[in-house]
């Protein structure tokens, strides 16, 4: 196995005004590895993904993909870098104005210039892979349930067979059964194509299921990382508080008592 | 002292906002002339901006032409200048009222629609999704809207000019007692190419302003439904003010002695 990380974040800082979201974050994701970043709401998990994709520019620090600087790329170089990624957004982020099949085939048509018939056939194949029937292809996102939107988002994320897939809160807002269905689909997609994945969630059940390695983000830094078994065994009070969902512990929520 | 600070802060914020808008406009224009071009999106926007604005622009133009003829008659009758009504109508409509009123009506319709659509895409992460799919949102969303605005507005203004002059003709012939031949003859003899051309140049500028302000405010919207609502209001207000301001500048450019 290659020793060069697929993704390397080193000393990444990002602030919005006086709010310092990332404060020297370090994270390596090895090829073929599935890393899940856990952490409370507002700790900067989504900002981390957007910094890696350069949707948000980090203030300082280094982000490398296969050993090459990923930030500050422009034009064709940036497009080529982005084509290596797929992403499932928290609320799916499907294009309202396009039917389902065009959402899934978007990158195939617009970025890879595939003929429409071929792109539609591929889109229907991906929709079938996430358990959606062919008749869904012509519906619009507004006609879908939350679970179906997530599946379409997943189909779009894997449509171009990317090397790296990001999952942003893949099970948030879904009932436990649908959440597990999405986890199974993620596992299926990942194991079939041996892609590298980086997921962010605060759903511990989901993290246990889809992650080879878990990293905990707190106050803008990765404060702990290890396997699922190590997570259960660790005496790190932050990790213990988080996985048990306890209000008592070192992580204090700014709540004013009534 | 606090008052001076407030003025200073407001002025600096204004300069910063103007700078951000200028950078956005230059970036958008640069994407209008660099491939890839999304012709399907351009066609869709031409229909949205041009075709679907025809009823509102047509109605505005015909009533404006009719009122203009009527008002000119009652005013000019005081010094026996009734015979100049066709000339007044054609100059007013082609130089000013056609482009400005069409621009303001389209600003209300298109700036708001662009700001709402692009703003909703922003707050629901659809613009981020475009980026992850290796598609530049400036090329895919913004450039087609701006090019369509620049093309569609002059066409709409040509229609507005024709219908506005026709409105004046209706009132002139059927209410004020002009003969059809005299009215048309006076109109065509007095109309100059520069009158129409200046109106079309204004229209192209207004098309740019309308789509730019809609896209700019939508692209920078935040905070959910309220943010999209604010963006929509700001887009219409700023587009309308810029239309009126740029109208003066272009008029100065064409006709100032």
CATH assignment of the domain containing A45: 3.40.50.300
pLDDT at A257: 63
| B125 in contact with A, Cβ within 8 Å | yes
Query: DSSP alpha helices (H): ranges in B92-192?
Result: 98-106, 112-123, 126-132, 137, 143-174, 180-190
Q: Which domain holds residue B174?
A: 2-255
pLDDT at A258: 63
**Average pLDDT per run of 10 along chain A, which is 258 residues long?**
84 92 93 91 89 92 91 83 92 94 94 91 91 91 92 92 92 83 82 85 90 92 92 90 83 69
Cβ-defined contact of A53 to B134 (cutoff 8 Å): no
Assign B240 a pLDDT band (cuts: 50, 70, 90).
Answer: very high
A244 lies in some domain: yes
pLDDT at A192: 72
- The CB-side HSE value for A89 (13 A sphere, CA atoms) comes to 20
A123 lies in some domain: no
Strand partners, A167: A88, A199
**Distance in angstroms (rounded) separating the CA atoms of residues B41 and B223:** 27
Among A114, A86, A106, A63, CA closest to B135: A106
A147 lies in some domain: no
Q: Which domain holds residue A52?
A: 1-73+196-250
Cα–Cα distances in Å, from A231 out to A38, A128, A167, A214, A249? Answer: 11, 35, 20, 7, 17
Q: How many domains does chain B have?
A: 1
A118 lies in some domain: no
Cβ-defined contact of A107 to B131 (cutoff 8 Å): no
What separation, in Å, do the N-terminal and C-terminal C-alpha atoms of chain A show? 55
- Dig out the tokens for B257 from the structure: 């002695």
The pTM for the full model equals 0.88
Q: Which of B39, B133, B219, B228 to mutate to test the interface with A (most CBs of A within 10 A)?
A: B133
Min CA distance, A216 vs chain B (Å)? 25
Let me know: does A225 contact A214? Beta carbons within 8 Å. yes
Q: Which value does ipTM take for this structure?
A: 0.89
Express as a percent the part of chain B with pLDDT over 70.
100
pLDDT at A61: 93
pLDDT at B141: 95
Average pLDDT, chain B: 94
Strand, coil or helix: A37: strand
pLDDT at A48: 93
Please tell me the least confidently modeled range out of A11-25, A176-190, B6-20, B84-98: A176-190
Q: How many domains does chain A have?
A: 1
Cα of A196 vs its chain's centroid, Å: 11
Q: Which of B125, B127, B223, B228 to mutate to test the interface with A (most CBs of A within 10 A)?
A: B125
Let me know: does B86 contact B172? Beta carbons within 8 Å. yes
């Amino acid at each position: 196995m290659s020793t060069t990380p697929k993704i390397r974040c080193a000393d990444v800082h990002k602030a919005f005004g006086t709010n310092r979201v990332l404060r020297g974050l370090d994270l390596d994701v090895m090829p073929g590895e599935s890393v899940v970043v856990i952490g409370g709401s507002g700790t900067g998990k989504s900002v981390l993904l957007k910094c890696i994709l350069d949707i948000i520019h980090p203030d300082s620090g280094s982000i490398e993909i296969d050993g090459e600087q990923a930030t500050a790329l422009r034009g064709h170089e940036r497009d080529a870098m982005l084509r290596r990624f797929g992403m499932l957004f928290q609320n799916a982020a499907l294009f309202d104005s396009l039917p389902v099949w065009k959402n899934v085939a978007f990158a195939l048509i617009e970025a890879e210039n595939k003929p429409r018939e071929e792109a539609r056939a591929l889109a229907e194949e991906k929709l079938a892979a996430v358990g959606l029937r062919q008749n869904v292809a012509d519906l619009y996102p507004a006609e879908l349930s939350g679970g179906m939107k997530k599946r379409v988002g997943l189909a779009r994320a894997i449509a171009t067979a990317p090397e790296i897939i990001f999952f942003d809160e893949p099970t948030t807002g879904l009932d436990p059964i649908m959440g597990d269905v999405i986890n199974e689909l993620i596992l299926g997609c990942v194991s079939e194509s041996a892609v590298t994945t980086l997921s962010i969630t605060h759903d511990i059940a989901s993290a246990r299921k889809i992650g080879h390695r878990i990293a905990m983000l707190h106050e803008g830094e990765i404060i702990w990382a290890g396997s699922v078994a190590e997570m259960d065994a660790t005496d790190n009070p932050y990790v213990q508080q988080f996985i048990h969902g306890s209000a008592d512990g070192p992580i204090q929520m700014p709540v004013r008592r009534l | 002292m606090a008052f001076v600070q407030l003025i200073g802060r407001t002025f600096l914020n204004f300069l910063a906002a103007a700078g951000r808008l200028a950078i956005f406009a230059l970036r958008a224009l640069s994407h209008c002339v660099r491939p890839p071009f999304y012709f399907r999106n351009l066609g869709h926007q031409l229909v949205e901006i041009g075709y679907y604005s025809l009823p509102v622009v047509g109605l505005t133009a015909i009533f404006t032409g009719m009122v203009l003829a009527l008002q000119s008659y009652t005013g000019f009758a005081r010094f026996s200048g009734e015979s100049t009504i066709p000339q007044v109508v054609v100059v007013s409509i082609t130089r000013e009222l056609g482009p400005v009123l069409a621009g303001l009506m389209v600003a209300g319709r298109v700036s708001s629609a662009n700001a709402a659509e692009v703003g909703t895409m922003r707050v629901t992460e659809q613009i981020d999704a475009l980026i992850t799919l290796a598609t530049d949102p400036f090329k895919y969303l913004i450039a087609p809207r701006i090019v369509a605005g620049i093309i569609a507005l002059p066409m709409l203004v040509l229609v507005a000019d024709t219908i506005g002059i026709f409105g004046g003709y209706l009132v002139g012939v059927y209410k004020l007692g002009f003969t059809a031949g005299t009215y048309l003859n006076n109109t065509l003899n007095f109309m100059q190419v520069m009158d129409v051309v200046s109106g079309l140049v204004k229209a192209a500028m207004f098309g740019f302003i309308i789509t730019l302000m809609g896209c700019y405010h939508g692209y920078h919207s935040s905070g959910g439904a309220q943010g999209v609502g604010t963006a929509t209001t700001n887009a219409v207000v700023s587009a309308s003010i810029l239309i009126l301001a740029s109208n003066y500048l272009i008029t100065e450019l064409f006709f100032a002695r």
